Chain A
Amino acid sequence: MARKKKTTVTVVSQKQIAEQIYDLWLETELAQEAHAGQFVAVYPHNAATLLPRPISICEVDRDRSRMRLVYRIAGKGTAEFAACRAGDSLEVLGVLGNGFPIEKAAGKKVFLMGGGIGIPPMLQLAKELDADKHILLGYRNQDLFLQEDLAENGQVYIATEDGSVGVQGNVMDIIRVNGLQADVIMACGPMPMLRAVREYAKEQGIAAYISLEERMACGVGACLGCVCRTREPDHHSHVNNARICTDGPVFEAGEVEI
């Protein structure tokens, strides 16, 4: 794996694409090493907000050394990022974590499932993955984002909680209503969704790779802040607590207790 580094990156562009959701393109050499499902940690300039914010990689453009982050304002740090304009610089730590195991899905029928702010990593995944891709997206309402980019890379299905677009309900309802089937699942989204995905994959006897999140401090596996329970002893501490930042964030669903 490439060496991790903290580096200064330049903002190429930023725009708001939905309520509280921002679309940020950065120019950085980290784009050369980034893969679907990995993340970077972005530092606020304000010294009172110390810790870097882990944000999943939405898309990379290796030819132009650019990286796209689509994130939601969740607090002071992300609110500061949302004010960035083209030409501004940011400090970024990366590339962090292990991405989705593309090789497990190549050539197969795959569900790419994204819920809410778990949707962005599905775009780079859809671009990297050569397979029969069914992209299942869950939103709160008609305030959609990234669905057009994703439609260029596979068959997109939409669910909204209020039923304003597509199937009413969540990504699991898309499967049920359309009678879909897959050989393998790759998913990112809120914990209730990931639990449902895990349960469904177990019933169907198929593999599911899910991307987890947790409050992080270091992002590099040193502080042991962001752990999740695992079925087998983790290789670092041997106590069934794997580090999401370095052992994940993508895990095979059956390996983790969520």
Chain B
Amino acid sequence: MNTKVTIAGVTLNNPVMTASGTFGSGMEYSDFVDLNRLGAVVTKGVANRPWPGNPTPRVAETYGGMLNAIGLQNPGINVFTERDIPFLRQYDTKIIVNVCGKTVEDYLEVVERLGDEPVDMLEINVSCPNVKEGAIAFGQKAEALYDITSQIKDKARQPVIMKLSPNVTDITEMAKAAEAAGADALSMINTITGMKIDIHRRQFALANKTGGLSGPAIKPVAVRMVYQAAHAVKIPIIGMGGIANAEDAIEFILAGASAVAVGAMNFVNPYATIEVVEGIEAYMERYGIENVAELTGAVEE
């Protein structure tokens, strides 16, 4: 049985990753998960300098999901390269660094700094709904996405994954723009913008008023978008959005994803990533699948 998948020339031991922002840089979950068993660890977003993030409350539970408006609190690239990358290098897993910024120059600075680092791929966050400048502003207009993607591709020394926002009218337009600008892969979806109000206190549940919805509640939307994007572009897609178990992961793969990421469900089940790895193997055995890559886009039309 072969669970390896290759994305932009990088071969992962299996198609299971962590979704950015839900797993730190792996350290916090290493009590629960043997990081060697993961296809890749995708880090929390890192900017050129430290970001304090948003005021609290930053998280709120919703029916079958949660809202977050962390605001990309991060220690900046200096601490990240000194602490987080060396930590991850101890493990036999691929390192994908999520990059965020307020301006194109911010993104480029981080991408250039990572050029000499032992990092396997870059995931560019142009889809965080919780920061006022940058981030999603680059991910909601096809021309802006094309522009930032091509500038990053000029500077990047690792393969570039563009993380797409679902908060757009036509996901295929965004997927095509990223591909046309040279993106090596897509990851999708980031969170869906939402809101929750406490009716007794007549207050927003989040200090930021709006937040990004994640968890099982968004899974059907994510599966649909992965399917649409997979039919619009040739580059590989990393699927995510409410994946709780192997069944969910396989749904994304059949819809067209080459790999998958577990996000909010890490909070619900800290062992979720490993259970997805094992569940995919069990599914392959049950249906006599020799190569996990055979399953990508294999839903019957």
Contact = CB atoms under 8 A, between A and B. Distances in A.
Contacts of A241: 52-53, 73
Nearest to B51: A239
Contact of B22 (A215, A221, A223): A223
Interface in A168-205: none
A67 interface: no
Interface in B20-64: 21-24, 28-29, 31-32, 44, 50-53, 56-61, 63-64
A215 B31 CA distance: 22
Q: How large is the interface on B (under 10, 10 to 19, 20 to 34, 35 or more residues)?
A: 35 or more
30 contacts: A6-B32, A6-B269, A6-B270, A6-B271, A43-B268, A47-B216, A48-B63, A50-B66, A50-B215, A50-B216, A215-B59, A215-B60, A217-B267, A218-B28, A222-B28, A222-B29, A222-B44, A222-B267, A223-B267, A224-B70, A224-B73, A225-B70, A226-B56, A226-B58, A237-B50, A237-B73, A238-B76, A240-B52, A241-B52, A241-B73
Interface string A47-62: 1111110000000000
A5 B271 CA distance: 10
B241 to A, nearest CB: 14
Interface string B1-29: 00000000000000000000111100011
A238 B268 CA distance: 27
A223 B75 contact: no
B191 interface: no
A217 B75 contact: no
A47 B65 CA distance: 9
B50 A238 contact: yes
A214 interface: yes
Contacts of A51: 59, 61, 66, 267-268
B58 A225 contact: yes
Contacts of A238: 50, 75-76, 79
B29 A216 contact: no
A227 interface: yes
A122 B31 CA distance: 28
A50 B68 contact: no
Contacts of B63: 48
Given A48-B64, A228-B56, A222 B50 contact: no
B74 interface: yes
Contacts of B162: none
Interface string B68-96: 10100111100100000000000000000
A228 B57 CA distance: 10
Nearest to A77: B61
Contacts of A47: 64, 216
B156 to A, nearest CB: 25
A217 B269 CA distance: 11
A226 B267 CA distance: 13
B73 A50 contact: no
Interface of A: 3-6, 43, 47-52, 93, 214-228, 236-241, 246
Nearest to A237: B75
A237 B57 CA distance: 18
Given A52-B268, A216-B59, A227-B56, 8 more contacts: A47-B64, A51-B66, A215-B58, A221-B24, A223-B21, A223-B70, A225-B56, A227-B53
A76 B292 CA distance: 40
B61 A223 contact: no
A66 to B, nearest CB: 23
B58 A227 contact: yes
A35 B73 CA distance: 30
5 closest residue pairs by CB, A with B? A225-B59, A222-B28, A222-B24, A239-B52, A215-B57
B73 A239 contact: yes
A53 B262 CA distance: 21
Nearest to B206: A215
Contacts of B21: 223
Contacts of A239: 50-53, 73, 75
Contacts of B50: 237-239
Contact of A50 (B58, B70, B267): B267
B264 interface: yes
A97 to B, nearest CB: 13
Interface centre among B21, B44, B270 (most CB of A within 10 A): B270
Given A4-B32, A224-B53, A227-B56, A217 B66 contact: yes
B270 to A, nearest CB: 6
A93 B269 CA distance: 9
B68 A246 contact: no
B52 A225 contact: no
Contacts of A224: 44, 53, 58, 70, 73
A33 to B, nearest CB: 12
Contacts of B60: 215
B180 to A, nearest CB: 34
A93 B66 CA distance: 19
